[in-house]
């Protein structure tokens, strides 16, 4: 009897709703990929879009009566790229034959409005990370002109303007606030 009660208690604890959990962009997950797809469709207002036009920045999940996926991406073709954040809800399956349902329930947009000072330790950290990230490419960094930040609850985004041997370019980094881990994501332009 005690073992049955213990199993029930463990089951209830594991089903509790919780905070956001960081997921990997490299994770091979149908749910993550489909959440990004629904966010892209909502952002562009189109059904048939080229998913390669967008740069994935971060993904977090949250257990509710189903699962929420918070996906962030940037549209490099926009005049001034802004961080797009979507929350996509996937309810419990309840035996649906057509597969899981994905619903966009929230959208926020973040501009890179805060300039990082040259004297700030963060500027040096991001600059070093960019230089290291590009060392095996044909884009060697001459200098970083400036860095703008934007942030949501879980992440801080750095939009870096740099002069390289191949001209001026923009790059994007994401930093998880809980771990302070800095990830080089991609070249924007």
Note the pTM of the prediction, 2 decimals: 0.83
Q: Which CATH number fits domain 18-110: 3.30.70.20, 3.20.20.70, 3.40.1160.10, 3.10.450.10?
A: 3.10.450.10
Q: Which of 1-5, 56-60, 120-124, 178-182 has the lowest average pLDDT?
A: 1-5
By CB atoms closer than 10 A (0-12, 13-18, 19+), residue 148 is: middle
Name the residue ranges covered by the structural domains of the chain: 18-110, 114-187
Q: What is the SS3 string spanning 85-96? A: EEEEEEECCCCC
pLDDT tens profile 46-92: 767 788 889 999 999 999 999 999 999 999 888 888 999 999 999 98
pLDDT tens profile 96-147: 667 789 999 999 999 878 899 999 999 999 999 999 988 888 788 999 999 9
């Amino acid at each position: 009897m005690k073992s049955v009660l213990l199993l029930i208690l463990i089951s209830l604890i594991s089903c509790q709703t919780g905070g956001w959990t960081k997921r990997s962009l490299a994770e091979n997950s149908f749910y993550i990929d489909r959440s990004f797809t629904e966010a892209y469709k909502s952002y562009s207002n189109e059904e048939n879009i080229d998913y390669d036009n967008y740069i994935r920045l971060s993904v977090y999940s949250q257990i509710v009566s189903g699962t929420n996926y918070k996906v962030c991406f940037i549209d490099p073709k926009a005049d001034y790229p802004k961080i797009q954040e979507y929350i996509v809800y996937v309810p419990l399956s309840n035996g649906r034959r057509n597969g899981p349902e994905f619903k966009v329930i929230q959208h926020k947009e973040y501009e890179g409005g805060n300039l990082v000072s040259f004297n700030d330790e963060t500027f040096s950290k991001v600059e070093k990370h960019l230089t290291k990230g590009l060392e095996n490419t044909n884009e060697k960094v001459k200098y970083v002109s400036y860095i703008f930040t934007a942030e949501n609850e879980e992440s801080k985004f750095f939009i870096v303007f740099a002069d390289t041997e191949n001209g001026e370019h923009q790059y994007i980094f994401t930093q998880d606030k809980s771990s302070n881990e800095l990830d080089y994501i991609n070249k924007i332009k």
